[in-house]
A and B are shown apart, each in its own frame.
Chain A
C-alpha cells in the first residue's frame, strides 16, 4: 500500500471510531474542514508513526504543521522511511 493510501485509510479508521463524517479527502481540503479535532490528529500521527516508522512533525525542529490534506501527505512522502 502506498504512503498516501495508508494515510487515507488511517484517517477513515479514526473518523469511524470518532463518529466523524468526512468530506471527500481532496488534496486541497484544509485539515480544519476534515472535522478532526486535535486529539484525532494526535491519534493519526501516532498510528502513522507505528505504521510508517516516521513522525515528520517531531523529527525536525522547524517542521510546521501542514494546512491541507495534500501537505499532510507530502510531509510523510518527503521523509525517507
Chain B
C-alpha cells in the first residue's frame, strides 16, 4: 500500500472490524462496509472540491453524509438542527458555500446555491470513493444571540485527542451522546466511534429522554457523554436507574462537585470524567479524579501538545487541536499573535486546584461588584435537596441588581421542606460566599430550560 497524503473518515473504517453499527430509533447501518455505499444517490462526484453546507434533519443521516463527503468536498459546514433560518443566507455567503446536501432540498430553492444534492437514509451500494483531499470542517458556535461564528477545523485537529488516546482496548465500545453530533461535544463522540472502533447509538430529532435511554440500555451503550445539564436532566428523570454505562463523560459546562457526586451515586461502577473542550479551542484536557476543577500543574505545557495559561483570571489555550480560524467576511482573529485562544472561561486558584467560576461574558453586576452565576450555583447544588439551579440578576432600585436563584428540587424531595431547604441554601452560601453573592430570593421551579446545545439557558446573561 502506498503512503497516502490525506486521511479521511473512510480511511479509518477498518473492513476487518465486524458487527459495528450506526443507529437511531428507525435506522441502522453497518459501519463495517458503509464506505461501499452512498446516501447521495450516487452523486458524490459532483461535490468534489465544493464548499458544502450539510443540512439534514437527523443525526443518523448527518453521519452518513459526513462519512461520504469527507475527503471529497473542499469544505463541509455542519448545520446543527436548531440553526436559526434567518442566519442561513449570511452563513452561506461567509463560508463561500457552493453546494448543499439536504434531505429537504426545497428549502434551498431560493438560496442562490446552484447545486443541491438530496441525501436519504436508504443506502445504495456504490464503488468505494478515493480520498482526494483534507476537507476543511466548519462548525458553528452555540451562542444564543446573534449570528453564530463559523469555526474552521481540520480532521487532524478534531481527532487529536482521540488518536493521542490510542485505540480502545477490550470489548468494542458502544458510544452515545446527549449532544447533537453537529456540535463540537457530539462530534467528538461520532469521531471516536468511527476511529476507535465500536458502534454508535444516536437520538432521533425530538426523541423523549426516557425513550432514548431505553434504547441506550437495549444497545448496551458503554461510553456516553453530555453536558452537566444533560446529566442533571437524566438524573432527575428517573430513567438512569436501569442504565449502567462504563464510561461517563461531562463537558461543555462547569462540572460541579454535586453533579459528579450524583453520577457516582447513580453509576457506582462507571468511570466518570469531565473534559474541557470548546468549539474554538478544541479538547483541552480531561480530569478523571472525580473532583471539580483541575490540578494547578496542568497549567503550562502537557504531553499532548496542549499549552494552557491563565491571564487576568481567564483560561487561554494553545493547541494543535484548536480551530485554525474564524471564517467569514467580518471574521476576527481566533488566536492572539502567540497562537493562544482566549476561552472566555474564568478560573480561580483554590489551594492546588483551579476551579471554573463562570464565563467572562456572563458576569452579573451587583452594586458594582462582579458575580459569576455559576459560582453560586455550584454552592446551591451541593445541597442534597437540590438537583439543579440557575442564578441570575434581578433589578433593584437600591443596588442596581440583586442575586436571585431558581432551584429545582431533587427527586423525592418534598416541597413542604421548602423553607428548610431555603434556609440551608442561604446558610451554605453565607458560609462560603461574599455577602453580595448570597441569593436574596430563592424560588422553587419544576424545571429549568436547557438550550439546544445542552447548556443551561441564561436568557439574561
**Chain A interface residues (CB < 8 Å from chain B):** 17-18, 38-39, 41-43, 45-47, 50, 55, 57-58, 65
A41: min CB distance to chain B, Å: 5
| B397, A38: Cβ atoms closer than 8 Å | no
User: Per a CB cutoff under 8 Å, which of B367, B396, B430 touches A46?
Assistant: B396
Contact A47 B397 (CB under 8 A): no
Q: Do the beta carbons of A46 and B441 come within 8 Å of each other?
A: yes
Sample of 4 more A-B contacts, CB < 8 Å, known A46-B396, A47-B441: A17-B426, A39-B440, A42-B440, A58-B395
Beyond A17-B426, A46-B404, is A41–B398 a contact (Cβ under 8 Å)? Answer: yes
CB of A7, distance to nearest CB on chain B (Å): 15
A45 partner, pick from B398, B430, B436, beta carbons under 8 A: B398
Write 9 A-B pairs (CB below 8 A) sorted by A numbering. A17-B426, A38-B398, A39-B435, A39-B440, A42-B367, A46-B396, A46-B440, A47-B440, A58-B395
B402 within 8 A of A: yes
On chain A, the residues within 8 Å of B366 by CB distance are 39
Kindly state the separation between the CA atoms of A43 and B435 in the bound complex, as whole angstroms. 12
Q: Does B2 interact with chain A (Cβ within 8 Å)?
A: no
- Is B219's beta carbon under 8 Å from chain A? no
In the complex, how many angstroms separate the beta carbon of B437 from the nearest chain A beta carbon?
A: 10
- In the assembly, what is the distance between CA of A43 and CA of B442, in Å? 11
Q: Is B394 an interface residue (CB 8 A)?
A: yes
Which residues of chain A come closer than 8 Å to B241, judged between CB atoms?
none
Contact of A57 among B367, B398, B404, B441 (CB under 8 A): B398
**B399: Cβ under 8 A from any A Cβ:** yes
Chain A contacts for B367, CB-based, 8 A: 38-39, 42
Within 381-431 of B, Cβ neighbours of A (below 8 Å) are at 394-399, 402, 404, 426, 430
Q: A46-B440, A47-B440 are in contact. Are A39 and B397 (CB under 8 A)?
A: no
Q: Chain B binding site: helix, strand, loop or mixed by DSSP? A: mixed
Q: What range describes how many residues of B lie at the interface?
A: 10 to 19
Collect the chain B residues with CB atoms within 8 Å of residue A65's CB. 397-398
A57-B397 contact, Cβ under 8 Å, with A46-B402, A50-B441: yes
Q: How far is the CA of A73 from the CA of B435 in the complex (A)?
A: 26
B397: chain A residues within 8 A (beta carbon): 42, 45, 55, 57-58, 65
Looking at B367, B398, B404, B441, the one whose CB has the most chain A CB atoms below 10 A away is B398
In order of increasing CB-CB distance, the 8 nearest A-B pairs are A43-B440, A57-B397, A42-B398, A42-B396, A42-B399, A58-B397, A42-B402, A41-B398
Chain A residue with Cβ nearest B401:
A42
Residues B441 and A39 in contact, CB atoms below 8 Å apart: no
Contacts of A17 in B (CB 8 A): 426, 430
Q: Whole-angstrom distance between the alpha carbons of A65 and B435 in the complex?
A: 23
Question: Is there contact, CB below 8 Å, between B426 and A39?
Answer: no
Q: Of B399, B404, B435, which is in contact with the most chain A CB atoms at under 10 Å from its CB?
A: B399
- Contact string against A for B residues 351-369, beta-carbon threshold 8 Å, 1 for contact and 0 otherwise: 0000000000000001100
Cβ distance A45 to chain B, nearest Cβ, rounded Å: 6
Question: Shortest beta-carbon distance, B452 to chain A, in Å?
Answer: 31
B394 near A46 with CB under 8 A, answer yes
- Bound CA–CA A46/B395 (angstroms): 9
Residues of B within 8 A of A55 (CB): 397
Cβ–Cβ < 8 Å partners of A42 in chain B: 367, 396-399, 402, 440
Q: How far is the CB of B403 from chain A (nearest CB, A)?
A: 9
User: Which residue of chain A has its CB nearest to the CB of B429?
Assistant: A17
In the bound complex, CA of A38 to CA of B394 (Å): 15
Q: Are B436 and A43 in contact (CB under 8 A)?
A: no
User: Of B394, B395, B404, B440, which is in contact with the most chain A CB atoms at under 10 Å from its CB?
Assistant: B440
Q: Which A residues are CB-close (under 8 A) to B435?
A: 18, 39
In the complex, chain A residues whose CB is within 8 Å of the CB of B398: 38, 41-42, 45, 57, 65
Residue of B nearest to A55 (CB): B397
A55 vs B441: C-alpha distance in the bound complex, in angstroms? 15
- In the complex, A12 Cα to B436 Cα: how many Å? 19
Q: Please indicate the chain A residues that have their CB under 8 angstroms from the CB of B441 in the complex.
A: 43, 46-47, 50
Q: How far is the CA of A17 from the CA of B426 in the complex (A)?
A: 8
